[in-house]
Structure 1
Amino acid sequence: MSKQQVKKVVLAYSGGLDTSAIIPWLKENYDGCEVVAFAADVGQGDEELEGLEEKALASGASECHIVDLKDEFVADYVYPSLTTGAVYEGSYLLGTSMARPIIAKAQVEVALKVGADALCHGCTGKGNDQVRFESTYAALAPQLAVIAPWREWTMSSREELLNYLAERDIPCTASLTKIYSRDANAWHISTEGGELEDPWNEPTENCWAWTTAPEQAPDTPAYVSLTVEKGRVVAVDGEALSPYDTLVKLNELAAPHGVGRVDILENRLVGMKSRGCYETPGGTVIMAALRGIDELILDKNSRKFRDQLAVEFSHVMYDGRWFTPLNKSLLAAAESFAEDANGEVVVKLYKGTATAVKKKSPNSLYSEEFATFGEDDVYDQSHAEGFIRLFSLSSRIKALKQEK
């Protein structure tokens, strides 16, 4: 679709510097097309959403749609993802990745509702998000054109963007003094930029936004009980809560104890490495609880396969492939394991750690009768000899052949 053919575009709008500049840029470079701003509330906080509609209209948007996705985000994207046990490259709990498919999906829905012929995002050409957004667009509305200004315009710095807005008398609260790039939702907050761009620099406390430094956390641990049904946390300390409210409560409980900090140098999908600091306090507690249940209910081979599934799903999620047959299959496999994931786990919060210290499940495979180091009547240790001979038979045959 040519620039002349684009009559109405829906922009994924955050109110920040980039998207504030994109609105007038679209109108100037796409022959006066109408720009509809879209913003998603995924639990990033009222501060980021306050005055957003006014900002969008002042920048030149014809209207602004702010869609509340908090409950759907946690219930239909975060919780199913947790059943897989996925962690990207050993430590990243996929906070930004999990939010992108629901945001892009809602943007498509707004575009179809208002009769737009194009979608636009403010993702840079260096990042993962451009892939995540556009893969969702392709899966749900391939007929709509996609505009990615960072891949088209000649501006390349904050100074140029600020000057661009100043020349057009468009208000913006951004400034040259901004150090970090942050992205938040109900699950986590990410921080990039500043001192983090040098891997030799230790993050300063200014880098962390939600959590207390573990060194400054209380000297007395806190304990929280989580009730799990089919791989989902359904109650905290005996109080039944929705998925979103569960996450809010656990964030409030865990953040003061410094739980959930991760400093990772990760491999981006586009080929480069980047460094990010992630804070996922409540999510870290949930993961500890779900792992505690898994330890009780999964046999050795099931656990091995689930771990393999987790790695595969982490890449599918990270790479923006939520709306694919592969993702559907992986989630279905994870759900089959989650059928027996019922029980209660007590998690200890102490100076940056979340440890499952008590766990029980009606489906537990653990038997004290069999596992005890004391005397028992259920396990004949002499039976182990035959098992070991068969288990090591191939090694025995190979050694005998070499001896001959």
Structure 2
Amino acid sequence: MFRGLDTSIALAWLQRAYNADVVAFCANLGQVDDLSHVEARARKNGASAVYMDDLREEFIREYAFRSLRAGALYEGRYHMAASLGRPLIAKRLVEIAHMEGADAIAHGATGKGNDQVRFFSSVMALDPTLRVIAPVMEWDLTTRSKQIGYAAQYGIEIPAFKSSPYSRDSNLWGTSVECGELDDIGKLPPRDAYTLTADPDEAPHEAVDIAIDFAGGVPVRLDGAALSAAELVAALNRIGGAHGIGRLDIIENRLVGFKVRGVYESPAAEILSQAMRELENLVLDRDLLHMKTGLSQHYAELIYDGKWFSGRREALDAFFESYAHKVTGTIKLRLNRGRVTIVSRSAPEALYNLEISSYESDVGFDQTAGVGFSYIWSMQGRVAALQKAAKAPEPVAEPSRQMAV
């Protein structure tokens, strides 16, 4: 994954530290970075081979949309764009290692982040015979100036970059921003922290309505146009971002044990999440819907915790797949200055029955049955109250007082 300053240096550093041939890999997940010079730079810095893979479609279809179907939001809010990309990158790294006959995999994650665990766990689940190396956690190049000095000393070509106080990671599913002024949790994020979304206060006053068609729990059309998974997400990012949709500022409980502030932008993920939730409310019965809510949390945690390649994920996927055929229909939404509003819903297997639901109708529902239903439903509480009353001690009578005349 050699495209930034750390990883450009790591490519050359690995050759010296381990006397190794290094194969470079860069995954295109739809990040905002300019990847046009990555291959040439990797070869100039000594890579014996370079793989540049466009994984956008696979990433959205097989990872992001599985998370969407599961309703997975870490701590109930975060769409986990970065977390979802790591297992796919790790899978491809293992495949390349096998093709090239490599015995180790290196990544650019730091010791304070979650990604070190995600990469290590994913590689071990796929091939435990491979060694995982984290150069950033081994070398003494702890500052940007030291890294630049190292590059100059050994003639390493590094990317041109603008000084930024932020640590930023992006792909088609969203962007995460940390560090710099964001470390002060007593202040709003600076305006320059956001790159994908307009400030809701400055977004167009005129709302835009969109329609999303789902088939088998997967979004397949936007405003009637059939799009690939990556195309649909990219289009929603553009539309939603222009209207200030998808901003999130949270205190997040990091896997490695401490809290951080994270600022996220996920226009498409937020729009699709709200549309999917509304469609499921329409087509799933109460018991199934409530059961799914608890399992959604498990799914979110396994993504965040780097356990994508696990029996638990496969079992949960089987559960969500079992009713996915019901999640077919159209949701129309209105986007306006940071807000998403449901305009209409329709689905072939909708469980909404107007004749039963309406207070203006007597069809299909016998209101006189409510007395018996309420009597039986309240029996547990009634029995407990009677038992409690039976065990209560008799009140002690106070002695009577007589007034002498």
**Aligned equivalent of 1:352:** 338
For residue 378 of structure 1, report the CA deviation from its aligned partner.
2.3
**Aligned equivalent of 1:33:** 20
Q: Distance in 1 between matches of 2:269 and 2:292?
A: 19
Aligned mate of 2:369, from 380, 383, 394: 383
Residue 256 to residue 176, structure 1, CA distance change in 2 (3 Å): closer
Render the CA deviation track for 1:173-218: whole Å, top value 9, x for unaligned.
Answer: 3568321111111111111111111111210110001110000111
Aligned residues: 390
Give the TM-score taking structure 2 as reference length. Answer: 0.93
**Aligned equivalent of 1:8:** none
Q: Distance in 2 between matches of 1:113 and 1:377?
A: 67
- Please tell me whether residue 103 in structure 1 is matched to residue 96 in structure 2: no
Equivalent position SS for 2:263: strand
For residue 276 of structure 1, report the CA deviation from its aligned partner.
1.4
**Aligned equivalent of 1:4:** none
For residue 150 of structure 1, report the CA deviation from its aligned partner.
2.3
**Aligned equivalent of 1:157:** 143
Q: Distance in 2 between matches of 1:348 and 1:249?
A: 15
Q: Distance in 2 between matches of 1:358 and 1:175?
A: 46
Equivalent position SS for 1:355: strand
Residue 206 to residue 176, structure 1, CA distance change in 2 (3 Å): closer
Render the CA deviation track for 1:225-258: whole Å, top value 9, x for unaligned.
Answer: 0111111011111111111111111111111000
Render the CA deviation track for 1:298-330: whole Å, top value 9, x for unaligned.
Answer: 222111110001100000001111111001001
Equivalent position SS for 1:347: strand
Aligned mate of 1:324, from 288, 299, 310: 310
Range moving further from structure 2, 272-281 or 58-67: 58-67
Tell me the amino acid that sits aligned with residue 15 of structure 2.
K
- Please tell me whether residue 142 in structure 1 is matched to residue 128 in structure 2: yes
Q: How does 1:179-198 map to 2 (within 5 A)?
A: 179-198=165-184
**Aligned equivalent of 2:7:** 19
Q: How does 1:254-273 map to 2 (within 5 A)?
A: 254-273=240-259
For residue 58 of structure 1, report the CA deviation from its aligned partner.
2.5
Equivalent position SS for 1:75: helix
Tell me the amino acid that sits aligned with residue 60 of structure 2.
V
Range moving further from structure 2, 276-285 or 155-164: 155-164
- Please tell me whether residue 115 in structure 1 is matched to residue 101 in structure 2: yes
Q: Does the Cα contact within 8 Å between 2:104 and 2:132 map onto a contact in 1?
A: yes
Q: Does the Cα contact within 8 Å between 2:212 and 2:223 map onto a contact in 1?
A: yes
For residue 113 of structure 1, report the CA deviation from its aligned partner.
0.8
Tell me the amino acid that sits aligned with residue 73 of structure 2.
V
Equivalent position SS for 1:339: helix
Q: Does the Cα contact within 8 Å between 1:16 and 1:174 map onto a contact in 2?
A: no
Q: Does the Cα contact within 8 Å between 1:228 and 1:343 map onto a contact in 2?
A: yes
Q: Distance in 2 between matches of 1:276 and 1:55?
A: 31
Range moving further from structure 2, 79-88 or 171-180: 171-180
Residue 126 to residue 343, structure 1, CA distance change in 2 (3 Å): same
Range moving further from structure 2, 118-127 or 273-282: 273-282
Render the CA deviation track for 1:249-273: whole Å, top value 9, x for unaligned.
Answer: 1111111000011111111111111
Q: Does the Cα contact within 8 Å between 1:225 and 1:238 map onto a contact in 2?
A: yes
For the pair shown, which has the larger CA radius of gyration, 1 or 2? 2
Tell me the amino acid that sits aligned with residue 311 of structure 2.
P
- Please tell me whether residue 44 in structure 1 is matched to residue 31 in structure 2: yes
Q: Does the Cα contact within 8 Å between 2:247 and 2:265 map onto a contact in 1?
A: yes
Tell me the amino acid that sits aligned with residue 130 of structure 1.
Q
Q: Does the Cα contact within 8 Å between 1:266 and 1:274 map onto a contact in 2?
A: yes
**Aligned equivalent of 2:378:** 392
Q: Distance in 2 between matches of 1:51 and 1:397?
A: 75
Render the CA deviation track for 1:101-150: whole Å, top value 9, x for unaligned.
Answer: 11111111111111111100010011111111111110112111111112
Q: Does the Cα contact within 8 Å between 1:158 and 1:176 map onto a contact in 2?
A: no
Equivalent position SS for 1:49: coil
**Aligned equivalent of 2:393:** none
Q: Distance in 2 between matches of 1:165 and 1:279?
A: 33
For residue 220 of structure 1, report the CA deviation from its aligned partner.
1.0
Q: Distance in 2 between matches of 1:393 and 1:155?
A: 69
Render the CA deviation track for 1:46-86: whole Å, top value 9, x for unaligned.
Answer: x4211001121222222211111111111111112211111
Give the TM-score taking structure 1 as reference length. Answer: 0.94
Equivalent position SS for 1:366: coil
Tell me the amino acid that sits aligned with residue 184 of structure 1.
S
Equivalent position SS for 1:48: coil
**Aligned equivalent of 2:238:** 252
Give the unaligned 5+ runs of structure 2. 391-405
Taking every aligned residue pair, what percent have the same amino acid on both sides?
Answer: 39
**Aligned equivalent of 1:298:** 284
Equivalent position SS for 2:139: coil
Render the CA deviation track for 1:2-39: whole Å, top value 9, x for unaligned.
Answer: xxxxxxxxxx32x2111111112111111x21111101
Q: Does the Cα contact within 8 Å between 1:81 and 1:331 map onto a contact in 2?
A: no
**Root-mean-square deviation (CA), in Å?**
1.4
Residue 174 to residue 158, structure 1, CA distance change in 2 (3 Å): farther
Q: Distance in 2 between matches of 1:190 and 1:398?
A: 51
Tell me the amino acid that sits aligned with residue 5 of structure 2.
L
**Where do 4+ consecutive residues of structure 1 move more than 3 Å?**
173-176
